[in-house]
Structure 1
Amino acid sequence: MIFEGQAVKVAVDDAGVATVTLDLVGESVNKFNSLTLGELAKAVDALKHTADIKGVIFSSAKDVFVVGADITEFTTWFKLDDEELADKLRDAHAIFNTISDLPYPTVAAINGIALGGGMELCLACDYRVMADTAKIGLPETQLGIYPGWGGSVRLPRLIGPDNACEWICGGAQKRSADAFKDGAVDAVVPATKVNDSARHLIQQVLDGKLDYHARRAELRAPMVFSPIEKMMIFESVRGVVGAKAGKHYPAPMLVIKTIEKGISQDMEKALDTEIKGFIKLAKGPVAKSLVNLFLSDQQIKKIAGKYAKNATPVKQAAVLGAGIMGGGVAYQSASRGTPIIMKDIRPEALELGLSEANKLFNGQVERGRLTTDKAFKAMNGIVPALSYGEFEHVDLVVEAVVENVKIKKSVLAEVESKITDDAILTSNTSTISITELAKDLKRPENFCGMHFFNPVHRMPLVEVIRGEKTSDAAIAKTVAYAQAMGKTPVVVNDCPGFLVNRVLFPYFAGFSLMMQEGADFQVVDKTMEKFGWPMGPAYLLDVVGVDTAFHADQVMAEGFPDRMKHEGKNAVDRLFELERFGQKNGKGFYTYEADRRGKPKKIFNDEINEILAPVVTSQTELSEDDIIARMMIPLCIETVRCVEENIVASAAEADMGLIYGIGFPPYLGGALHYLDQMGLQAFCDLADKYSHLGKLYEPTAKMRAMATNNYTYYGA
């Protein structure tokens, strides 16, 4: 053993092959924190000063190689001044450059995930052997930055600038077959053979069959392209990436610029170019927002893990109410290995639910994510039922019938009598109080909300709602089931609309007020989509369902009459009255026709202006800034109210709920992070400009006090 630390150790065998083993003590994964980086530097220095080494293998003692930098440590670098940050990056470069300069061949034995800095270590080696089950990638653009330890320099030289731009800008984890096809790795073998294969590569070098010197020389030199070749590569890449990234996410376009410049430079200059671009991104607001989201996501997963830790797993589930939502819940449960009974009183509803689930499984097969056999087996995990015959074996029930308090109460009381005393009963209500729904139940402690978002298979969030009498055991089991379904659960307390819809409906109310003032809903939609929302409010209402929004609006108005009740008819009321329910029946604010793939295509029809004319009471000129402010202010204030009233326990849970539940623009980091970035005083001043619009635009007293004291929701 020539070096041994708490994260890295180096041993040399009798044949002169050294193995650098990454094994961070006390952690389930390897990551590059200051300890690991420091020890890697010492390990490489020990190698430099050890005689008679023939080659080096970099390997891992854990199931992963290296998952990347420890983001909690790494982001403290972003707060340094530019030169201090540059020095930190140069220190990391020095470690990887030393590995690249070792006077013998180096091989990365990639037994598991190698991401970010972990992959950059692999790129610093001469050769890479990858387990067939492993994944590699440079996901930094998802944090608003790009690879800063040589990845944007070495990868283009290895796999070509066009492939490198696709890898880095997309941020995806690449499977072994794709990595080998693109030339990022030299061999793919079973995980148990990775180290042996790495050793074989070194032997091939020693036998003169591979020339690592020539490879190094090629990868260090500037790449040679004619001006026309270079223009064609990068204009094509910019067009594709720019369309996907959009103006709010600068990292993908800047990394293209960095790669374009770097490929014409020698290694040293290219690394300096990488550093300059990295610093620019790391100091920007988007990186701050996206890093905050990453940390918030980690936080809510830890919270969910604590809830679920002592829960017994759900072995048999059931969903009441087939159809699109019931079919979605059934698909998600069965696809993740929990069998589920899907019950309805109508055979045609069961057929619809099964058809929905089958369509989703077929889609997975067509995309190559499931084999036909596995899809068939999973589909068999969904058992349709017209009676409660098998419910005595059910551990958890999801009630997903129509959003009507009387019907839900009746169905819940009925199913409670058919399940065991310790089974958990949940309601997929979007707005109705869980405490109210529990009033007629014999075991209210075993009842909670489990609010899925549509479409179930795509939307990551599940709100788990605690009623007044809900037990910790019920919450724990429901959270555990949501996790088993591959969802991100957030536990919230009971109130009309819970967290997500309580916050969403003031946003819709801001839209309705503008419609009454003669706003063009297409302009509002385009403005909010340009601002970063996946769809504008009119389109979103059509997707949610105008009928669903109408009924939910009544619940919200009854729950919060001081700010959510409105006089006279608004646009949603008018469309509901005319049975223009949105996508579900082909007409709402927009009309819908099936495209060639059978998906609803949005079309504007002039008749809508005449239809909405009766709800227009005035004509007001609205700028883009007015539209954004009038939409965002009510949403942000209601989010604050949810935190102040302990509906949601933390800023992180509130913000992730909005991002995962309604597509709040990620580059803003969530409503509360958005307020922190804007400054509460600036926000309160902005809201006061619109105070004439009513209480929805009135900051809370605590907000004003926090503004006076320069407090933030995320603290220092």
Structure 2
Amino acid sequence: MQYAGQAVSVRDAGDGLYEVVFDLAGDSVNKFNQATLAELRDAVAALQGSDGVQGVLFSSAKDVFIVGADITEFTQMFERSEDEIVAGLLEMNQVFNSIEDLPYPTVTAINGVALGGGFELCLATDYRVASTVAKVGLPEVKLGIYPGWGGTVRLSRLLGVDNANEWVCGGAEHKAVAALKAGAVDAVVDPAQLRDAGLDLLRNCIAGKFDYRARRLEKQSAIRLNQVEQMMAFESAKGVIGAQAGPHYPAPMAALKTMQKHAGLTRDAAQAVEARGFAKLAKTEVCRALIGLFMKDQQVKKTGRKHAAGAAPVQQAAVLGAGIMGGGVAYQSASRGVPILMKDINEKALQLGLDEATKLLGGQLKRGRLDAAGVAKTLTMIRPTLSFGDIANVDLVVEAVVENVKVKQAVLAETEQHLKDGAILASNTSTISITELATALKKPENFCGMHFFNPVHKMPLVEVIRGEKTSDAAVARTVAYAQTLGKTPIVVNDCPGFLVNRVLFPYFGGFSLLLRDGGDFRRIDKVMEGFGWPMGPAYLLDVVGIDTAHHADAVMAAGFPDRMTHEGENAIDRLYSLERFGQKNARGFYAYAPDRRGKLKKAPDETVTAALSGVVGAAREFSDEEIIERMMIPLCIETVRCLEDNIVASAADADMGLIYGIGFPPFRGGALYYLDQMGLANFCAMAAKYADLGPLYQPTTRMQQMAERGATYYG
């Protein structure tokens, strides 16, 4: 028999064996859209109706197996009622069940990424053979849902309850060797041997060497634990998973409860339980926000690829300034295979940068992500130097010296003299105008901003800032380099603070006003963390550094005097004057001391009340709602201003910048999505309550016009 579609085909592999091959036309990856699913259904029906078939291998003609379901179609599906969603899921389950019920053995050859629905298909076959480069997993909880095509059912019976809980509720990707150890795949082979290994496994099943029917029955039966064992396994996991997920992300706990509920059921009944729980999650606001977030992330990455189109790769980089930030940039570049010079003016600074890179590599070694040879190889890609001698060979230089206009201009001008034609010079400034810095350069067209966030190895965002004279070529190569480093670059136009810091400092301004009016910074932190921020504003200021914040506050006030200046001394000014710089010197709003692992731990500081005397008003109790409103209104309005002023090109750029740059609560979708969900009319009415607090709380004219006509930022 033969079957050929636009995404699925069936080929004769000889000796009664057939191969179902996924190869979605017109796309670089395979994914389960409606067309692919329909073709899979037809292909399986053709197999069912054919004589002489003895075994089937499922494989991919692309570098990946199947990346999962087409997320763009999810939003359409999730607009339906719960009952309609359940019916759709059970219909899809019938396709996978028909594969599992074929009267002969089935094997999947996983050549690359198999995630979500792609891995659920793998689980429906009797055996799974993976390439050494393959990765598998069920990441659905990251979208506010859980696996809905039999994944929670089959995995909990294949891996056992404990492993399945970790895989489903954690949503992580797993390398082939780890998947083999857990029991999610049955063999791992070199890529060149994958297809032959899959076909050989089928032949061994046909010959009776492997009992595929027993494996199949295990997936279709109830979990082999008695009621007491089930209760202990699931109940013991709830505390851990609940703590990891937190109160704002319901999917991991819902997945756990679903697996517990269907543990004693056979396949079809268990899938019905899975589908009902999935449908409930699909209708939540968290799910809607997280799926929207995924789509915005894809849009931002697509825009980044357009910016980088045609750019020559950076073969050799350099970083000027070997502090913590410079060392972080050097580590990131070297670990991604791009050799980098690390230049400073003294040996002590160079050693600090090397120590930072060595520490980060030590962490990779400890976690088993690198071996000793890998650590050594990466370190050899970082070359410390005190001179400009080798800088003539580099393609791109990142300046990361002290945040001072005159110092930066002097360093940039000197560096420019040593660069080859076409080399890009980029500044890691966090607030200073790129256009202003460029006045010291002879070729400002080759200069742009490249703002990394600290810690470099963890923070995914890089702001690429276009000055007035920055060329498209400079932007393209800088964006391409950021992508090579594994970062998400967002191109922004020049202004004080660019996007992230321009938006962050009105948020800090709202915090200062709350303190002025008698708010307790500890309570404000607690409320804003409850809102979903990873840390409250006082804690965040301590982490950023009070000295850094004080300097940036002055830059922002000079850039936007109408709304970012403040009368008299505020809390940041006071702590700065007292040299309470936060984590840098172990005291700020809080006190800090290293724990047993060497990480700084926050603790109350009894001296801070006296330190803030005179800048914090008479104690006043604010409601949670009032604290949230007073903190969020300035941030949201300034985000809108960045969009209206064309600092960012799209609402998606703005929202992803805040999520990746300052940890805006992902489940809230970003500042502009947050406004859409609230409704601009409601937001403007809320802001009007605080009009006496000044311009930070005044919506723009365009916001008010949009509110009047019911417009939104995402349509």
TM-score, normalised to structure 1, is 0.98
Q: Supply the distance in 1 between the matched residues of 2:582 and 2:19 (Cα, whole angstroms).
A: 62
Match of 1:680 in 2: 680
Match of 2:596 in 1: 596
Higher mean C-alpha deviation, range 168-177 or range 78-87:
78-87
Q: Deviations 1:52-92 (Å, cap 9, x if unpaired)?
A: 11111111111111110111123211112223222221221
Q: Supply the distance in 1 between the matched residues of 2:214 and 2:481 (Cα, whole angstroms).
A: 54
Q: Contact between 1:145 and 1:287, CA under 8 Å: does it hold in 2?
A: yes
1:607 aligns with 2:581: no
Match of 1:39 in 2: 39
1:650 aligns with 2:650: yes
Higher mean C-alpha deviation, range 405-414 or range 224-233:
224-233
Q: Supply the distance in 2 between the matched residues of 1:601 and 1:358 (Cα, whole angstroms).
A: 23
Match of 2:219 in 1: 219
Match of 1:405 in 2: 405
Match of 1:546 in 2: 546
Match of 1:478 in 2: 478
1:141 aligns with 2:120: no
Match of 1:69 in 2: 69
The structural deviation recorded for 1:217 is 2.4
Q: Contact between 2:158 and 2:218, CA under 8 Å: does it hold in 1?
A: no
Q: Deviations 1:386-411 (Å, cap 9, x if unpaired)?
A: 12111111211111111111111111
The structural deviation recorded for 1:682 is 1.4
Q: Supply the distance in 2 between the matched residues of 1:320 and 1:216 (Cα, whole angstroms).
A: 60
Q: Supply the distance in 2 between the matched residues of 1:192 and 1:295 (Cα, whole angstroms).
A: 34
Question: Which residue identity is paired with 1:71?
Answer: I
Q: Contact between 1:431 and 1:497, CA under 8 Å: does it hold in 2?
A: yes
The structural deviation recorded for 1:571 is 0.6
Match of 2:327 in 1: 327
Secondary structure of 1:583's partner?
Answer: coil
Match of 1:373 in 2: 373
Q: Contact between 1:33 and 1:74, CA under 8 Å: does it hold in 2?
A: no
Secondary structure of 1:103's partner?
Answer: coil
| Residues 139-538 of structure 1: pairs in structure 2 closer than 5 A | 139-538=139-538
The structural deviation recorded for 1:225 is 2.7
Q: Supply the distance in 1 between the matched residues of 2:640 and 2:619 (Cα, whole angstroms).
A: 31
Match of 2:633 in 1: 633
Secondary structure of 1:368's partner?
Answer: coil
The structural deviation recorded for 1:328 is 0.8
Q: Contact between 2:10 and 2:20, CA under 8 Å: does it hold in 1?
A: yes
Higher mean C-alpha deviation, range 291-300 or range 77-86:
77-86
Match of 2:623 in 1: 623
The structural deviation recorded for 1:468 is 0.6
Question: Which residue identity is paired with 1:469?
Answer: K
Q: Supply the distance in 2 between the matched residues of 1:408 and 1:59 (Cα, whole angstroms).
A: 55
**Stretches of structure 1 lacking an aligned partner (at least 5 in a row):** none
Q: Supply the distance in 2 between the matched residues of 1:359 and 1:182 (Cα, whole angstroms).
A: 30
Q: Supply the distance in 1 between the matched residues of 2:453 and 2:330 (Cα, whole angstroms).
A: 14
**Would the alpha carbon gap of residues 714 and 14 (structure 1) be closer, same or farther in structure 2, given more than 3 Å must change?**
same
**Would the alpha carbon gap of residues 339 and 218 (structure 1) be closer, same or farther in structure 2, given more than 3 Å must change?**
closer
The structural deviation recorded for 1:211 is 2.1
Q: Supply the distance in 2 between the matched residues of 1:616 and 1:650 (Cα, whole angstroms).
A: 38
Q: Supply the distance in 2 between the matched residues of 1:307 and 1:28 (Cα, whole angstroms).
A: 20
Aligned positions, number = 715
Q: Contact between 2:12 and 2:18, CA under 8 Å: does it hold in 1?
A: yes
**Stretches of structure 2 lacking an aligned partner (at least 5 in a row):** none
Q: Deviations 1:434-472 (Å, cap 9, x if unpaired)?
A: 111111211111111110100111101000000111110
Q: Contact between 1:111 and 1:134, CA under 8 Å: does it hold in 2?
A: yes
Q: Supply the distance in 2 between the matched residues of 1:348 and 1:66 (Cα, whole angstroms).
A: 50
Match of 2:105 in 1: 105
The structural deviation recorded for 1:97 is 1.0
Q: Contact between 2:124 and 2:154, CA under 8 Å: does it hold in 1?
A: yes
Match of 2:4 in 1: 4
Secondary structure of 2:613's partner?
Answer: helix
The structural deviation recorded for 1:333 is 1.0
Secondary structure of 1:614's partner?
Answer: coil
Question: Which residue identity is paired with 2:632?
Answer: M
The structural deviation recorded for 1:224 is 4.0
Q: Contact between 1:63 and 1:111, CA under 8 Å: does it hold in 2?
A: yes
Match of 1:30 in 2: 30
Q: Contact between 1:396 and 1:426, CA under 8 Å: does it hold in 2?
A: yes
Secondary structure of 1:145's partner?
Answer: coil
Secondary structure of 1:53's partner?
Answer: coil
Q: Deviations 1:237-260 (Å, cap 9, x if unpaired)?
A: 111110000010000000111100
Question: Which residue identity is paired with 2:99?
Answer: I
Q: Supply the distance in 1 between the matched residues of 2:221 and 2:364 (Cα, whole angstroms).
A: 43
Q: Contact between 1:334 and 1:340, CA under 8 Å: does it hold in 2?
A: yes
Q: Supply the distance in 2 between the matched residues of 1:700 and 1:398 (Cα, whole angstroms).
A: 36
Q: Supply the distance in 1 between the matched residues of 2:54 and 2:68 (Cα, whole angstroms).
A: 28
TM-score, normalised to structure 2, is 0.98
Q: Supply the distance in 2 between the matched residues of 1:194 and 1:444 (Cα, whole angstroms).
A: 52
